[in-house]
Structure 1
Amino acid sequence: MTTLHPMPDDVVLVAIDIAKARNEVLIETPGQKRRRRMTVPNTRAEHDRLIVLLKGFGRPVACAMEATGNYHRPIAWRLREAGFQVRLVSSVALARTREALHNGWDKNDPKDAQVILHMLRIGASQTYHDPLAAGINDVQELSKTHEAIAGAKTQVLHRIQTHYLPLYFPEVDRFRQNSRSDWFFAFLDRFPTPASITALDKPAFIEAAWSVVGRKVSKERLLGDIYETAKTSIGLPIPLEAPAIRMFRLVIAEARSLIRQRNEIEAMADQLLAESKDYKRLRQIPGIGPIIALAILAEAGDLRRFGHHRQFLKFCGLDLSTQQSGTYRGQTRLSKYGNARLRRNLWLAGQVAIRQKENSFRDKFERYIARDRHNADLRRKALTAITAKMARVVHAIIKSGDDYRPFVEGPVPGGRTPLSSAVRAQPATL
């Protein structure tokens, strides 16, 4: 149960309903029944006017707002720099409180400002951690941009796989090894159709494509296999100068451009965080590579602010919740009221960790599914447990400042870890 901490009686309370062009502001001054309502456009002059007004009260000021896209960040930064306390209210809590106070679902900006003010007064708000003040703004931008580019790259790849290749060269898709390789797209740009390959004899094709595919094991055999595949292709006979092939090459160029951008961001992130001790410790954990480590630091910020790993689990949405009313008690399941992007990256890290040869994550997963390895529901629960374990380990090594100590949990009778082993594995099994 969450304990509310109401605001002191001598604090000026300011509720701000954020919008793109203007904000609805409601001010409650101690000792005065009448509240002051005003509209503050999102301009420098109007923000300055609001700050001067609040400083004129000569009292501590607490401001609360609902996070709205990124529109709240400029005014929140200005208020924080002016020395005011800045708080956030949950969107879900705001909606439920509004319904309880006004007995209806209808909403408008002035009404939302009243609800925000009520929540600020009773202490139903959260501390606002400004990314710029916390020094993670650059890390966040790199992480979010990388995710956007990776998503765009996946969409382009799907367009190539489901539209262009089935039409013009269906058989070549089996030579694509992974989505991070640029050689496959470079090859398609040079040889987009089977006819562009078979127009040359086999030795001439191998010589022309030799530098295109880059460094490969058994490169000559690979190119020979591609040549023989092109001779029996069912692709449509489209000439190279056709507009359709020009469109195909445009999409290929887009994919290659996105790969270059992604690689540039990864190199920049590694350079930016090269001296970060937290980043280095995260990289020691099985399953966590540079991008997942970047995402964890970007989304969680300084993990030391979480006093206990359960707080971090709740922040990730990995805490358990149960629907209960009277004699009814529902199933206990993950709340998922947390940072979805952080939860997804921890899930991905766990997926990678259990595929590695030896580590405590894989050992726990194997013990979890031992009674029925083919039970899909049991495997799903095991992966969820591994995700929670990953979150606990991440929090433990950052908060303690200790390096990750790998430990392979051996076979344990009855599924229990010996006390001596548990002590030695403490940083990895919290």
Structure 2
Amino acid sequence: MTNKQTTPADAVLVAIDVAKARNEVLIEIPGRQRRRKLTIRNAREDHDRLIALLLDTGKTVICGFEATGNYHRPIAWRLIQAGFEVRLVSSMAAARTREALHNSWDKNDPKDAQVILHMLRIGATQHYHDPLLAGINDVQELSKTHEAISRSKTEILHRIQSHYLPLYFPEAERFRQSSRSDWFFAFLEVFPTPASITVMDEAAFIEAAWHVVGRKVSKARLLADIYQTARTSIGLPIPLNAPAITMFRMVLAEARSLIRQRDTIEKMADTMLAHSPDYQQLRKIPGIGPINALSIIAEAGDISRFGHHRQFLKFCGLDLSTHQSGVFRGRTKLSKYGNARLRRTLWLAAQVAIRQKENSFRDKFERYIARDRDNPDLRRKALTAITAKMARVVHAVIKSGADYRPFFEGTVPGGRTPLCGAIRAQSATL
């Protein structure tokens, strides 16, 4: 992937400033001094009019635009289907170029079209990868919907923990073991208050709740513990038919509904990607489960298009940058000018990997923090290094087509460890 593309001298350049209702279009045709300005509504007839106008030129057409929410997707798809080359302009690069060209931060749609046209002319653009054309549109929708549902579920869980449980059943919090489990919400939906439990004797409660809590180790002991806890609870004495309890149960039902939706998406994603080689190879990397693999594929697309792992690191925003001027040299740190969602996914995968046994990620993390294990700043830097290593391994595995192999780390001169040791079976020795 490159940020610099060659623009043919005889090509028709089309700069499009995308908006929700209408787009400002600036067309530069070789041999004509005057540029053509158009306002194109986001309607089929206007899209057809623009395409017909560009086809009539009989020349190579290069279109450029700045990503704007999802409003650029339909017109970009129409332009690609018409056979035009479509390029993407970086939002930050456009802002800096606008300031340089106009010596002002002033921003408006016609001026943005001029900036995009200038960047097309000098080739300061990126290739536009259309998700529908690349075949990852469905994967992206699954990934984004899963994230939205997970966030909603987390918000409801926090509401239950910080509002409903402290009021009506404070002691129940210690019985919740996992945010992925449905049994706790199902139990509270049936028994939302201590009074709903103590209204019967212990044996009757255990019989009534036996099938509610699902399959549990020492289920009888767990239910007996819940019953004794309910007898000494400090929860407010609210009757079961009170509107407050109705609201509590409504929130619990919503939480359970979100859990079911999340599980459905996870099963659908696993079925959809079951025959994807990239998905299967990603799943073999420590720390990358079904959802992390889904998110990586959704956000990165075809990882093999990155010729070198440094290009992939830059795409993720995990490349290093330093502010330097004259004798002054600032701190070297992550640029973070990349795909934030992909970077976060790799960060989460790194956190999982360092908690697993016997893998190269944990070994590197342990060596990094060995000199001061309790230093939070050192641990943060170590986890950042592991995140970058995770990105390099992901790129190497997909690029080479080789499966990730079990733990292998050898000490080499200079203290660095070879990346190939994690993915090459030929050189792996325990």
How would you bin the TM-score normalised by the shorter chain? over 0.9
Tell me how large the CA RMSD over aligned residues is. 1.7
2:404/2:422 contact within 8 Å kept: no
CA displacement, residues 221-246 of structure 1 (integer Å, 9 cap, x when unaligned): 00000001101111000000000000
Report the counterpart of residue 77 of structure 2 in structure 1: 77
CA contact (8 A) 1:318 1:388 kept: yes
Residue number in structure 1 paired with 2:217: 217
Q: From the superposition, tell whether residues 4 and 141 of structure 1 become closer, same or farther in structure 2 (CA, over 3 Å).
A: closer
Match of 1:376 in 2: 376
- Separation of aligned partners in 1, 2:246 and 2:171: 20
Match of 2:396 in 1: 396
2-side partners of 1:418 and 1:387: how far apart? 15
Partner of 2:339: 339
Contact 1:356–1:362, Cα closer than 8 Å, also in 2 = yes
Q: Check the 8 A contact 1:322/1:332 in 2, yes or no.
A: yes
- For the pair 1:38 / 2:45, whether they are aligned, the reply is no
TM-score (ref. length: structure 2): 0.96
Alpha-carbon distance change, 236 to 173 in structure 1, aligned in 2, over 3 angstroms: same
Alignment of 1:72-151 (within 5 A): 72-151=72-151
What SS does structure 1 have at the residue aligned with 2:138? helix
**2:192 is matched with which residue?**
192
CA contact (8 A) 2:5 2:126 kept: no
Measure, in 1, the Cα distance between the counterparts of 2:67 and 2:184.
43
Amino acid in structure 1 at the alignment position of 2:207: E
Contact 2:28 2:34 in 1 (8 A): yes
Alpha-carbon offset, residue 424 of structure 1: 4.5
TM-score (norm 1): 0.96
Partner of 2:211, secondary structure, is coil
- What is the letter of the counterpart of residue 145 of structure 2? T
* Structure 1 residue 371, shift from structure 2 partner: 1.1
Structure 1 unpaired stretches of 5+ = none
Decide whether aligned partners of structure 1 residues 234 and 54 sit closer, same or farther in structure 2, where only a CA change above 3 A counts. same
Residues 82 and 248 from structure 1, CA distance in 2 versus in 1: closer, same or farther, beyond 3 angstroms? Answer: same
C-alpha distance in 2 between matches for 1:369 and 1:228 = 45
Matched residues in 1 for 2:259 and 2:409: separation? 39
Question: What is the aligned length?
Answer: 425
Partner of 2:302: 302
Q: Give the match's secondary structure for 1:24.
A: strand
CA-to-aligned-CA distance 1:122-163 (integer Å, 9 cap, x gap): 011110000000000000000000000000000000000000
Structure-1 residue corresponding to 2:262? 262
Matches within 5 A, 1:349-364: 349-364=349-364
The CA distance in 1 between the partners of 2:101 and 2:415, in whole Å, is 51
Percent identity reads 76
- Summarize the Cα distance change of 1:418–1:10 in structure 2 as closer, same or farther, 3 Å threshold: closer
**Which structure 2 segments of 5+ residues have no match?**
none
> Which aligned pairs between 1:202-351 and structure 2 lie closer than 5 A?
202-351=202-351
The 3-state SS of whatever aligns with 1:23 is strand
Counterpart of 2:16 in structure 1: which amino acid? I
Amino acid at match of 2:344: R
Match of 1:23 in 2: 23
Distance 1:340 1:149 in 2: 19
| Superposition deviation, residue 416 in structure 1 | 3.8
Equivalent pair of 1:397/1:427 in contact (CA under 8 Å): no
Structure-1 separation of matches of 2:415 and 2:35:
61
CA distance in 2: counterparts of 1:413 and 1:8, whole angstroms: 48
CA distance in 1, matches of 2:214, 2:176: 13
Q: Report the Cα distance in structure 1 between the residues aligned to 2:413 and 2:112, rounded to whole angstroms.
A: 55
Shift of 1:251: 0.3
Secondary structure of residue in 2 paired with 1:14: strand
SS for the counterpart of 2:48 is: helix
